[in-house]
Amino acid sequence: MIPFSPPRMDQRIVDEVVDTLFSGWITTGPKTKKFEKLLTAYGGHQSTLCLSSATAGLELVLHWYGVGPGDEVIVPAYTYNATANVVVHCGATLVFADASDDFNISIKAIEKAITSKTKVIIPVDIGGWPCDYDAINALVRRDDIRSEFKAANKEQEQLGRILIMSDAAHSIGGRYKGRTVGSLTDITVYSFHAVKNLTTAEGGAICFNLPPPFDNLQIYQRLNIKSLHGQTKDALAKNQIGNWRYDIVEPGYKCNMTDIQASMGLIEIQRYDEDMLVRRKHILDRYKAALSKYKWVQIPLYESPDRQSSYHLFLLRIAGASESQRDSIIQEIFRQEVAVNVHFVPLPLMTFYKGLGYRMEDYPVAYDNYSREITLPVYYDLTDDMVDEVVRAVVKAVGKVIG
- Under the banding of pLDDT at 50, 70 and 90, the label for residue 206 is very high
At 112, give phi and psi (nearest 5°).
Answer: -65, -30
Q: Where in the chain is the domain with CATH 3.90.1150.10?
A: 272-401
Report angle CA 18, 28, 179 to the nearest 5 degrees.
95
* CA-based nearest residue to 311, from 134, 187, 181, 164: 181
Which three-class secondary structure state does DSSP give residue 118? strand
Would you list the DSSP string of 281-346?
HHHHHHHHHHHTTSTTEEPPP-B-SSEE-----EEEEETT--HHHHHHHHHHHHHTTB--B-S---
% of the chain with per-residue pLDDT over 70: 100
Q: Distance (Å, rounded) from C-alpha 57 to C-alpha 256?
A: 10
Least-confidence region, from 17-26, 36-45, 234-243, 280-289 = 234-243
DSSP 272: I
User: CATH 3.40.640.10 region(s) of the chain?
Assistant: 11-270
Which of helix, strand or coil describes residue 174? coil
Question: Do the bridges between strand 179-180 and strand 163-168 make them parallel or antiparallel, or are there none, so unpaired?
Answer: unpaired
CA 309 to the chain's CA centroid: 12
- In CATH terms, is domain 272-401 a member of 3.90.1150.10? yes
Measure the CA–CA gap between 209 and 182, rounded to whole angstroms: 8
397 close to 333: Cβ distance less than 8 angstroms: yes
Residue 234 confidence (pLDDT) above 90: no
Strand partners, 180: 175
The pLDDT tens digits for 128-183 are 999 999 999 999 999 999 999 999 999 999 999 999 999 999 999 999 999 999 99
Residue 370 in this model has a pLDDT that exceeds 90 = yes
What are phi and psi for residue 359, nearest 5 degrees?
-120, 130
pLDDT tens-digit map of 380-401? 999 999 999 999 999 999 999 9
**H/E element holding 120?**
strand 118-121
Confirm or reject CATH 1.10.3720.10 for domain 11-270, answering yes or no: no
| Contact (CB, 8 A) for 76 and 110 | no
The pLDDT value recorded for residue 249 is 94
Is the preceding omega at residue 344 within 30 degrees of 0, hence cis? yes
The rounded distance, in Å, linking the Cα atoms of 153 and 182 is 26
Candidates 333, 317, 311, 297; CA nearest to 382 is 311
CA separation for the pair 205, 390 (Å, rounded): 33
- Continuous H helices in 102-248: 107-113, 133-141, 143-148, 154-159, 216-226, 235-238
Taking CA atoms, 306 is separated from 141, 183, 185, 187, in Å, by 22, 15, 16, 21
Question: Which tens digits make up the pLDDT trace of 85-102?
Answer: 999 999 999 999 999 999
